[in-house]
Amino acid sequence: MLKLLNLLKDGRFHSGEALGATLGVSRSAVWKQLQHLESELNLTIHKVRGRGYQLAVPLNLLDAEAIAGFELGVQWPTFIQQSLDSTNAEGLRLAAAGQAAPFVVLAERQTAGRGRRGRQWVSPFAENLYYSLVLRVEGGMRQLEGLSLIVGLAVMRTLQAFGLSGVGLKWPNDVLVNGKKITGILLELVGDPADVCHVVLGIGINVNMQVNDDIDQLWASMRSETGQPIDRNHLVAVLNQQLQHELARHARYGFAAFQEEWEQAHLWQGRPVSLVAGSTRIDGVARGVDGQGALRLEVDGVEKSYSGGELSLRLRDDS
């Protein structure tokens, strides 16, 4: 099926006879594969008598050689799958099987993509970026402090490099553009965080998606903001470069070196917010983050720090 996709990805018409000859199968077998592509991957394929078959929208498929071809200096091993439950889950499986970190896992789609607090991450085929970077972390908790915030900064700079404006951060790990969510970040850890562990940096970026009724919040994509389709292989290469640079700084200096620049990028800095954990809600004013990446919240005139993977920050109605 992947071979057929590669033949059709240019968005031009291809006859069933030519496709069958290239694949070494009958025209009937080509037809069955085309039906499978439509039903399994939700792709639209035009069928015109006398002309053949054409993808309604050309595809920019992920390719490790194309990523390396941008020569941005990052040589992480890259594993690309057509379909995965989630790139984070695959990263953990590869690490458990002995794959040396760092390495990157990419997928054209996810069947069980996850966001924070157990939410689904909508993952249509070959439109967005589903990316996980697996790291081996030694030296204790200091190497983990503020890590999701560092990833957010790297993603923000990547988007800006592609011409997006109005990009900023929302604690703890969302990237917004003009008030709409464009990126989610999910970090997962296995091992002993006080000694040696593996951390998976999961990043989902809306890239070329233009329509999706399954998302229950305001969202944007790189294409909707720039008006141009984005080469996802180029995007991976730039994201790799930004992550490598910021992670090296973090390993050397810790999160405290990033505190001021992260606060400058925080879209809700100084605004009335609600911090929600389950049924508990704390109202206050966002004052920034501390040296470990915890949220600094002014509550009734007193500043307090909050951290935890189950916390959600929202703008208050009176803001």
Predicted confidence (pLDDT) per residue in 200-221, tens digit: 999 999 999 876 656 656 889 9
- C-alpha span between 79 and 77 (Å, rounded): 7
Q: Is 87 marked as a binding-site residue?
A: yes
CA distance 152 to 70: 23
pTM of the model: 0.88
Q: Is 123 annotated as a binding residue?
A: no
99 lies in the same domain as 200: yes
Q: Which residues of 111-140 are buried (b: 16+ CB within 10 A; e: fewer)?
A: eebbbbeeeebbbbbbbbbbbbbbbebeee
The whole domain housing 50 covers 2-55
Give 129's strand partners.
205
CB 41 within 8 A of CB 33: no
* Spatial separation of the C-alpha atoms in residues 147 and 126, rounded to whole Å: 28
Q: State yes or no: 181 annotated in a binding site.
A: yes
> Does residue 232 share a domain with residue 84?
yes
- 73 and 141, same domain (yes or no): yes
pLDDT of 83 higher than 60: yes
pLDDT tens-digit map of 128-140: 999 999 999 987 6
Residues 59-76 have a mean pLDDT of 89
- pLDDT tens-digit readout, 31-61: 888 887 777 777 788 888 888 888 887 888 9
Kindly state the average pLDDT of the residues 9-30: 84
Q: Is 280 annotated as a binding residue?
A: no
Chain segment 225-264, per-residue pLDDT in tens: 999 999 999 999 999 999 999 999 999 999 989 999 999 9
Known binding residue 86? Answer is yes
- Of 55, 74, 92, which residue sits at a domain end? 55
Side-chain half-sphere CA neighbours of 298 within 13 A: 9
178: CATH: 3.30.930.10
- Tell which of 242, 262, 282 closes a domain: 262
Q: Which pLDDT score is estimated for 216? A: 58
Alpha carbons 307 and 1: distance in angstroms, whole number: 45
Q: Same domain, yes or no, for 73 and 213?
A: yes
Is 88 marked as binding a ligand?
yes
Instruction: Please indicate if the annotation marks 119 as binding a ligand.
Output: no
Q: Distance between CA atoms of 155 and 24, rounded to whole angstroms?
A: 43
Which residues are the active-site residues?
Answer: 116, 181, 314
- Asked whether residue 224 is marked as a ligand-binding residue, the answer is no
- Determine phi and psi for 182, rounding to 5 degrees: -120, -20
Same domain assignment for residues 150 and 200: yes
Across all residues in the chain, what is the average pLDDT?
88
Return the CATH number at 28: 1.10.10.10
